């Protein structure tokens, strides 16, 4: 919720707040019978004194707009005022319907804090910092945007010239062979995962995911009614034999992997394990969904290529995206897979949103076709390497043997074990007091005492300060 208060206006704050609430009640945004935010919560959101809100609510009650009862808070009056009708929809019954599981509370808390926090150190978000976006490429893509295209027809599978550009791009940069007919453009990797879990699986199906993994934090698996089984990840990724065990025990129907610079651990599935995973996948006929946001971001050693680059059997559904190499707000991702699967997903997609807006696709086409894009990728890798190095040295200096970590060879994240028993909720809370945000391991299904730090979002020169804040928070947790 956003409220715009004018702290320099002539009319006092309490009056401004009163007027906004009155207006929103008259618009039906707070329907008769619905509950207003608590005094405490609203005061916090608006950054005003709680007494101010109490005063506003008193006035609203005096004018008959709201009713206040001990225990049930402040509700919009159900009896007539003005042209308000007497009856009203019980929206609560509707909001509790449907199969969408609300976002995991701890994640929601961290996300909300990140939005409201001014200053501070955000090592929680999985995004690049804005200075890493290819701003010049975006800017020049706008100038070059033509609109000769037929803007009236939406291609539910994705704009054809863009799909052709993508298939060229993945061939050159990722060694994945595909044709435009087998590419489905999605609204980021998230929609790709959503389509796959909703359209290719049934409620009750068993699937395997890495443990810990980013997927664990996604309520979409639970929302689709899937049973989730974990494949433990070590520094070389998952152990392929675990797949066979899960298959024999639970008849898993799909495997979700992020084999290259995995989130949160940063590990890379080793060459020999990749071959074995593919071999098992084809022997048992269990398809693999490869989520690959960052394989382009190899920071040292040999370039890592996706699992899909060595799959000729069409057993791997590949998910790519530009969120971590251009900008997440572009919302462009894609799926590569067998023709029949792509057709099915494209048809379902038509029901969900008709297809992606043509504009992000035109912009992405311009960017990919620019020779500057390769230079941007080199610059990005160089900058990320510096940030990673700084984080590694600062962590070692400041926290020493209080923590253990493996240096990630690519991607955006450093995964860190705290060498004593610790409660994640407590540590998150203490860190928040120091304006330090990170992702605790438990949201990824790890035991308490792990932390995922994003080194891509914080500038090198702020790294030491940030880690000091974390160390300070850690010292306060018993």
Which of positions 146-165 make contact with its own copies (CB under 8 A)? 147, 149-154, 160
| Binding to its own copies, residues 245-284 (CB under 8 A) | 253-254, 278-279, 281-284
- Residue 69 or 115: the one with the smaller Cβ distance to its own copies is 115
- Residue 34 or 304: the one with the smaller Cβ distance to its own copies is 34
Helices marked H in 63-187? 91-95, 105-116, 135-144, 160-174
Angstrom distance (rounded) from CA 54 to CA 64: 15
Stretch that binds its own copies, among 134-142, 208-216, 380-388, 410-418 (CB under 8 A): 134-142
Measured CA distances, 244 to 239, 251, 259, 282 (Å): 10, 9, 18, 12
Residues contacting its own copies: total by CB under 8 A: 121
**Cis peptide bond upstream of 264, omega within 30:** yes
Nearest-approach distance from CB 404 to its own copies, in angstroms: 30
- Residue 157 or 295: the one with the smaller Cβ distance to its own copies is 157
Q: List the beta bridge partners of residue 333.
A: 186, 321
Q: What is the dihedral of CA 194, 268, 329, 6, to 10 degrees?
A: 110
Under rule CB under 8 A, residue 200 binds its own copies? yes
Angstrom distance (rounded) from CA 474 to CA 189: 34
Select the residue interacting with its own copies from 24, 75, 273, 417 (CB under 8 A).
24
| Binding to its own copies, residues 403-462 (CB under 8 A) | 457
| SS3 of residue 451 by DSSP | strand
- Residue 47 or 351: the one with the smaller Cβ distance to its own copies is 351
Angstrom distance (rounded) from CA 46 to CA 462: 29
Map residues 458-477 to x or -, x wherever contact with its own copies holds by CB under 8 A: --------------------
Nearest-approach distance from CB 348 to its own copies, in angstroms: 4
| Binding to its own copies, residues 330-369 (CB under 8 A) | 330-332, 337-341, 343-344, 347-348, 350-360, 363
- Residue 49 or 354: the one with the smaller Cβ distance to its own copies is 354
Q: Could you tell me which of 239, 226, 230, 227 has the C-alpha nearest to residue 267?
A: 239
Map residues 27-46 to x or -, x wherever contact with its own copies holds by CB under 8 A: xxxxxx-x------------
Nearest-approach distance from CB 421 to its own copies, in angstroms: 33
User: Which two tokens mark 288?
Assistant: 């693999």
Nearest-approach distance from CB 401 to its own copies, in angstroms: 34
Q: Is 430 left (phi over 0), alpha (psi -120 to 50) or beta?
A: alpha
Q: In this structure, are residues 199 and 337 in contact, taking their beta carbons and an 8 Å threshold?
A: no
Q: What angle, 0 to 180 degrees and rounded to 10, lies between the N-to-C axes of helices 339-353 and 188-199?
A: 110
| Binding to its own copies, residues 300-329 (CB under 8 A) | 311-316, 327-329
- Residue 333 or 449: the one with the smaller Cβ distance to its own copies is 333
**Cis peptide bond upstream of 212, omega within 30:** yes
Stretch that binds its own copies, among 63-71, 92-100, 412-420, 431-439 (CB under 8 A): 92-100
């Amino acid at each position: 919720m956003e409220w715009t208060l004018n702290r320099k206006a002539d009319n006092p704050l309490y009056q401004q707040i009163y007027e906004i609430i009155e207006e929103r009640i008259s618009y039906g945004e707070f329907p008769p019978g619905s509950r207003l935010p608590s005094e405490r919560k609203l005061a916090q959101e608006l950054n005003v004194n709680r007494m101010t809100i109490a005063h506003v609510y008193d006035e609203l009650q005096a004018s008959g707009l709201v009713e206040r009862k001990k225990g049930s808070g402040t509700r919009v009056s159900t009896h007539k005022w003005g042209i308000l009708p007497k009856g009203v929809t019980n929206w609560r019954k509707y909001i509790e319907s449907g199969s969408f599981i609300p976002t995991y509370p701890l994640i929601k808390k961290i996300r909300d804090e990140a939005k409201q926090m001014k200053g501070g150190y955000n090592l929680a978000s999985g995004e690049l910092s804005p200075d890493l976006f290819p701003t010049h490429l975006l800017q020049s893509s706008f100038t070059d945007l033509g609109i000769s295209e037929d803007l009236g027809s939406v291609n539910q599978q994705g704009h054809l010239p863009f799909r052709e550009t993508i298939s060229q791009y993945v061939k050159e940069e990722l060694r994945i062979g595909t044709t435009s007919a087998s590419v489905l453009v999605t609204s980021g990797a998230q929609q790709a995962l959503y389509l796959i879990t909703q359209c290719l699986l049934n409620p009750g199906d068993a699937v395997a995911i890495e443990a810990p993994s980013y997927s664990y934090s996604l309520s979409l698996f639970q929302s689709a009614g899937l049973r989730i089984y974990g494949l433990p990840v070590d520094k070389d990724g998952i152990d392929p034999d675990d797949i066979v065990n899960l298959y024999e025990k639970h008849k898993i129907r799909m495997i979700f992997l992020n084999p290259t610079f995995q989130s949160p651990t940063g590990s890379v599935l080793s060459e020999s394990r990749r071959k074995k995973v593919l071999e098992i996948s084809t022997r048992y006929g269990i398809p693999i969904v490869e989520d690959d946001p960052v394989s382009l971001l190899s920071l040292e050693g040999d370039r890592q290529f996706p699992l899909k680059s060595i799959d000729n059997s069409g057993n791997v559904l590949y998910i790519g995206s530009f969120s971590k190499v251009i900008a997440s707000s572009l919302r462009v991702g894609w799926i590569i897979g067998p023709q029949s699967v792509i057709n099915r997903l494209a048809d379902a997609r038509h029901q969900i949103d008709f297809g992606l807006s043509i504009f992000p696709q035109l912009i992405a086409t311009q960017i990919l076709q620019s020779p500057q894009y390769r230079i941007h990728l080199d610059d990005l890798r160089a900058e990320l390497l510096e940030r990673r190095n700084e984080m590694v040295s600062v962590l070692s200096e400041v926290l020493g043997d209080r923590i253990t970590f493996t240096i990630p060879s690519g991607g955006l994240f450093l995964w860190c074990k705290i060498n004593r028993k610790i409660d994640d909720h407590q540590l998150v809370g203490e860190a928040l007091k120091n304006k330090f945000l990170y992702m605790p391991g438990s949201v990824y299904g790890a035991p308490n005492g792990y932390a995922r730090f994003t080194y891509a979002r914080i500038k090198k020169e702020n790294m030491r300060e940030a880690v000091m804040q974390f160390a300070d928070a850690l010292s306060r947790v018993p």
